[in-house]
Structure 1
Amino acid sequence: MKRIPRILLKKPILLGSITFVVNLVISMSPVLYLHGKHVEHYKSIPSFNTQLLIEEQDIVYSALLYSFIFAFIISILITLLAFFLKKSYLEVENLSHFDGLTGLYNRLMFMNVFQKEIQKVKRNRDYLFLVILDIDDFKPINDTYGHLIGDEAIKITASTLQQLLRASESIARFGGDEFIISIVDQDKNAASTIVNRILNEFNNKTIPVSRNHDHQELQINLSIGYTLYRSDDDFKTMLQRADQALYISKEAGKNTATFLA
């Protein structure tokens, strides 16, 4: 059963072609076999009416034509079904890997990617950082301006973070207004450079809001906590330290970053 979705995903046209050939063989084989037997029987008769053979051949040709049409229609239906299942399968797969609001990795996908990065840095001796951040005072934003503005703040934060990060860095929406980033680099100061770049960018990041016909710009600020991989770490222990660092940033007045080694 596990192989069926792969066929539908990768080769729906091939699946339709195989269906066409199989149906054609199954439907035509009995007709051709019986026709051959009848021809042998007629030829064994000393005197037989050739008109009967001609009439039977006409019937056989009609049967073969109908078999061809039937096989073609079935193959078209199977191909269309395969394309539909392919689309549905990809949508389900996308939902299982990516966040619906931002298009970023979701929590589960990020955890899978991060586990692979841990294995990689064990071999390469690179530095691996885990960064967790959230939007300051997000609940008052939702309560004051509504969930649509809250969603817009999350989307703007996500797109801005993507622009600030390199292709080698992974980012996910971890839940609510929280985001999580992994950084792999040979430079031990790489994470602090990126974190400072993020803070500087969000010092000037606003979104337009309106309340009681009063139009204004809403400032988006972030609090950040991050940590460095140790040889005995796993994702859970690094997340706990990064989360603790984030808490320290919040207690320190927000709009700042804290590093815990």
Structure 2
Amino acid sequence: MKRIPRILLKKPILLGSITFVVNLVISMSPVLYLHGKHVAHYKSIPSFNTQLLIEEQDIVYSALFYSFIFAFIISILITFLAFFLKKSYLEVENLSHFDGLTGLYNRLMFMSVFQKEIQKVKRNRDYLFLVILDIDDFKPINDTYGHLIGDEAIKITASTLQQLLRASESIARFGGDEFIISIVDQDKNAASTIVNRILNEFNNKTIPVSRNHDQQELQINLSIGYTLYRNDDDFKTMLQRADQALYISKEAGKNTATFLA
């Protein structure tokens, strides 16, 4: 039931049509009901005056006409208001679901999507992987080149990851320079294939930077940790294992990936 107002807000014409019908029913029903009562009363009178009935019918037709006009005007106003609110609603919804810098899912949206993936793999027995990665030595990048270059590194990383992933895989900016990916596949080696593809791509990924008027190429490397869903796992337990794997990759010298089952 909570989804019904959202659906109506996203469909202004439907909302206006419903408003028109509801207003028409509410305004016309009493008029028609009372008119029916009066007609029955008049016909029960022996000396029934047809002229009175005709005069009342004229009044009823006028009332119905004005009810129609009123309902139509209200529905038009509601439709225009809904169009205005729809834009604001979609903007708010976008902010609540997506990261402002990269356009990827944000943390909360990813968690919601991942919980659904867990329920799916419980039914169809596919393999579900959780991959977490971050940019190596990101703090020195910010300290050396500034936060604008840091933001550019994050955006380039996000767009590159999106290009490397399939449409069925979900990705989010998890916070700062961290990204998180869910992979569902029938192949148990699917995550290893994708992770190696990511590492190979970022071995040659650079962005142009300027330091003291000297043009340079800044290398972007990633450290990755990933894990596989096992019975009774939830997002938290998988995240803990993937985080631990990421830590191992960092300790091993960075620019590498570690898998923990």
TM-score > 0.5, shorter chain as reference: yes
Percentage identity across aligned positions? 98
User: How far is 1:214 from its partner?
Assistant: 1.8
Q: Equivalents in 2 of 1:90, 1:160: separation in Å? A: 26
Structure 1: unaligned runs, 5 residues or longer = none
Shift of 1:173: 0.9
- 1:30/1:5 Cα in 2 relative to 1: closer, same or farther (>3 Å)? closer
- After TM superposition, give the deviation of residue 196 of structure 1 in Å: 0.8
CA gap of 1:110–1:45, structure 2 versus 1, over 3 A, is closer
- Give the whole-Å Cα distance in 2 for the aligned partners of 1:82 and 1:102: 29
The SS at the match of 1:120 is helix
- CA pair 208-25 structure 1, distance change in 2 beyond 3 A: same
Residues 135-194 of structure 1: CA deviation (Å, up to 9, x unaligned): 011111122222222111111111111111112211111111101111122222221111
Q: Cα gap change, 1:20/1:251 in structure 2, threshold over 3 Å: closer, same or farther?
A: same
Name the stretch that deviates more: 25-34 or 85-94: 25-34
C-alpha contact 2:208 2:216 (8 A) present in aligned 1: yes
Matches within 5 A, 1:124-163: 124-163=124-163
Could you list the runs of 5+ residues in structure 2 that have no partner in the other structure?
none
Give the drift of 1:24.
5.2
- Summarize the Cα distance change of 1:195–1:29 in structure 2 as closer, same or farther, 3 Å threshold: closer
Q: What CA distance in whole angstroms lies between the structure 1 residues aligned with 2:124 and 2:49?
A: 86
Match in the other structure for 1:222: 222
Cα distance in 1 for partners of 2:72, 2:228 equals 61
Equivalent residues of 2:9, 2:15 under 8 A apart: no
Asked if the contact 1:8/1:86 (under 8 Å) is kept, the reply is: no
Aligned partner of 1:40 in structure 2 is: 40
Q: Deviations over 1:34-69 (max 9, x none)?
A: 999999999999999999999999999988776655
Q: Contact 2:225/2:257 (CA < 8 Å) preserved in 1?
A: yes
The Cα of 1:3 is off from its aligned counterpart by 5.8
Q: Please state whether the residue corresponding to 1:180 is helix, strand or coil.
A: strand
SS of the counterpart of 2:240?
Answer: helix
- How many Å separate the matches in 2 of 1:82 and 1:175? 34
Given that 2:8 and 2:14 are in contact with CA atoms closer than 8 Å, whether structure 1 keeps it comes out as no
> Per-residue deviation at 1:246?
0.7
In structure 1, what is the Cα distance between the partners aligned to 2:12 and 2:219?
49
User: Judging changes above 3 Å, is the alpha-carbon distance between structure 1 residues 57 and 218 closer, same or farther for their aligned structure 2 residues?
Assistant: same
Q: 1:182 to 1:61 in 2, by over 3 A?
A: closer
The alignment partner of 1:224 has SS state of strand
Using the TM superposition, name which of 100-109 and 240-249 deviates more.
100-109
Structure 1 stretch displaced more, 49-58 or 19-28? 49-58
CA contact (8 A) 2:183 2:191 kept: yes
How many residues were matched structurally? 261
Q: 1:125 to 1:27 in 2, by over 3 A?
A: closer
- What secondary structure sits across from 1:102 in the alignment? coil
Helix, strand or coil: the match of 2:150?
helix
Give how far 1:124 is off. 2.6
Stretch moving more, 110-119 or 192-201 = 110-119
Counterpart CA distance in 2 for 1:35 and 1:66 is 16
- 1:238 offset after TM fit, Å? 1.4
